[in-house]
Structures are given as C-alpha cells and as structure tokens.
Amino acid sequence: MDKIRLGMVGGGKDAFIGGVHRIAARIDGEFDLVAGALSSTPEKSRDSGQALGLAADRCYGSYEDMAEAEANRPDGIQAVAIVTPNHMHAGPAMAFLKRGIHVICDKPLTATMDQAEELAKAVHDAKALFILTHNYTGYPMIRQARAMIAAGDLGDLRIVQVEYPQDWLTEAVEQSGGNKQAEWRTDPERSGAGGCIGDIGTHAHNLACFVSGLKVESLAADLQSFVPGRRVDDNAHMLLRFIGGARGMLWSSQVAPGNENALRLRVYGEKGGLEWAQEDPNYLWFTPFGHPKRLLTRGGSGAQDTANAVTRTPGGHPEGYLEGFANIYAGAASAIRAAQAGESPDLSLLPGIDAGIDGMRFIAAAIRSSQDNAAWVTL
C-alpha cells in the first residue's frame, strides 16, 4: 500500500515533540512526511522544512496557506500532525478538518475550554478523523492492564492512584531566555491556565481513566506555583471520586528533584491489584488477593493479545517511549485506511475528541477547586 501522505504544523527547529512525532510516524513505515508549516515565521518554516528534506514549494509560511494549497493538490496530504503549543491546536485542526484532512493532534486538546468546544463541533461536523496523542495509552503493558481490568481480573475497582512527577522546572528556567520548552509551557497565553496539570497532569488523568475504564465524577485539588514569579501551577495534589464509587489520588509535579519522567499507576479492586511504572514500562505487577505478586512482562508468558498486537521485539529487548508513541500512529494509520476504504474505523483504543474534552474539563475543575480552597468540584 502507498504510504499515507502526512503534513506537520509546528515541530521546527528547537522544538522537542515534533521530532518525536516524526520518529513515531516512521517506525512502521505507514506515513511519508511531505509538507509542513513548521514554524510561526515563514523563513524559519522554510529552513526547518528543507532541513527535513521537504520540497521547497511544500514548506509553508502558515498553516492556512498549507491547508488551502494541500487540499487543492492531487497529491496533497491525507493527514496532518499538529505539534504546536496548546493555544495553536484548535485553529489548524479546524482548518484541516474542514478540508477533509485527518488530524493527529498533540495533547492537551487546546488552551481554553472555548477553543475545545469549538473544535469539538468541528470534529463532529467533519468527515475526517481526529486523534489525540495521549501516547502512554500505546504501551503494550498498559493495553494489558486495561484488558485485565475489563475482564474482571481485579473485580470491582476500589482505588486508583496515579502520579507523574518531574524535576526539570525546579528552578525558574523559563526566565533565562534559553529554554523554549519551559518558556511556552509556563506562559498561560500559550499553555492555557493549567501549567503542570495541563502538561503532565492530563496524561496522568487520561491514563488512569483509560486503564480503569472509569470516569472522574468530581475532584478536590490543591495547586501550587512554588517557583517565585511562575504564572502557572508547577505542582498539584488531588483527590478523585470516580463514577461508580471508586476513589483515587493524583499527584503531578515538575518541581520534584530526583524525578525525570516518573509516571506511575496503581489500580486496586476487590480481587487484586496492578502496578505499572513508565520508566520501567515492559513490566506489569499483578497481585491476586491472597497470592504472591506476579511479574507480567511485555512479550512474555501471560501477555495477552491486546499487548502482543503492539509489541515489536521479543521479550527482554526493551521497548518504550518511541514505540508506544508509534503505536498511536500505527492505530491512526489503520483507522485512516479504513475510512479511506469506506469502512468504519476501529477507534476503541485511540484517544480522540472525547478524551480531549475530558482532559479540558479536568484542568478547569482542578483550577476551580484550588481557587476555592480545594473544595470538591464536579467535572
């Protein structure tokens, strides 16, 4: 089959996540990057595109020019990856959806709830697909955990605990002028009102819900901006109440020295518990109540079909962040090919607009709660 022609908005020089998306899109050979509006300035966009080997006439100065031109080309892009700061998600997504071009968008959904609702309407009205890259849902042992819970291996769920601490914003690096990633992530005009909770708290919230199959009904949040002068939160503690009665805790922080990317999940039910850590992602601990703890490994004995389907190398050969991200792109490719064939795509394991709206409601509820002295707030 021909590769899916892919464009990219954002992800030019000095960007982090754009390179990750490009690697993820290449791993399974499903996509071919052929066009881009890679920066907010035409000159930088052109230089970035040519450095990636794009044709000069497909290095666009704006996403508007790119959407219009590519929609009118017989060999125009079929999908676009949006890897910009949060405030620049909605505009490009709507521009491409309107022209029937599938959208693969980085998280969180947008910077504001108004933008999110406008984008949700555009997705509803569009014939093209919208996929949100909550990449941790692509890890094989996360798919395994989700399947085990859905099969009842833990019984009725009681407790969900998730944490995502980092330490890279322990100092006011955004004030130095030399860290582009820190600058936009701590600028509420670009990141949105949520800092840490928008950047990594939404990952923690999404992962807890994806694996457990539960939705958060209400939360009580205590948000802090520990670094002097920082305009968004850099630490968050939350209590969670899930629909159905389960309870949870969520901690996200970017000022916790000694933590690089320590996303961890624990789920406990009446019959047993599961534990998983992103920095050691090939292993899942399962403890049936009253029995010894069991180690389930990616590609090993006990791995289920849903995990094996997104496993590339034999057990003992580590897979991680890039492969998990690639599993989102592989799922997107399958869905796009189904849509192109006039079939109903399988979106059951792909985060989309609903997950994006849930994430935005999570951010808004956490901010409201914290402003009201950590009062309980319904999502």
List pLDDT tens digits, range 237-247.
999 999 999 99
SS (H, E, C) 140-189: HHHHHHHHHHHCCCCCCEEEEEEEEECCCCCCCHHHCCCCHHHHHHCCHH
Cβ neighbours around 376 below 10 Å, total: 14
* Of 8-22, 139-153, 159-173, 211-225, minimum mean pLDDT range: 8-22
List pLDDT tens digits, range 254-292.
999 999 999 999 999 999 999 999 999 999 999 999 999
**pTM for this predicted structure:** 0.96
Share the mean pLDDT of the chain: 97
Distance CA(26)–CA(226), nearest Å, equals: 39
For residue 194, pLDDT beyond 90: yes
Distance CA(101)–CA(354), nearest Å, equals: 19
Distance CA(28)–CA(315), nearest Å, equals: 19
Please give the torsion angle defined by the CA atoms of residues 251, 257, 260 and 261, in that order, rounded to the nearest 10 degrees: 0
Distance CA(249)–CA(161), nearest Å, equals: 5
pLDDT of residue 87: 96
Structure tokens at 265: 């999940």
Cα distances (angstroms) measured from residue 25 to each of 19, 198, 258, 317: 10, 24, 31, 21
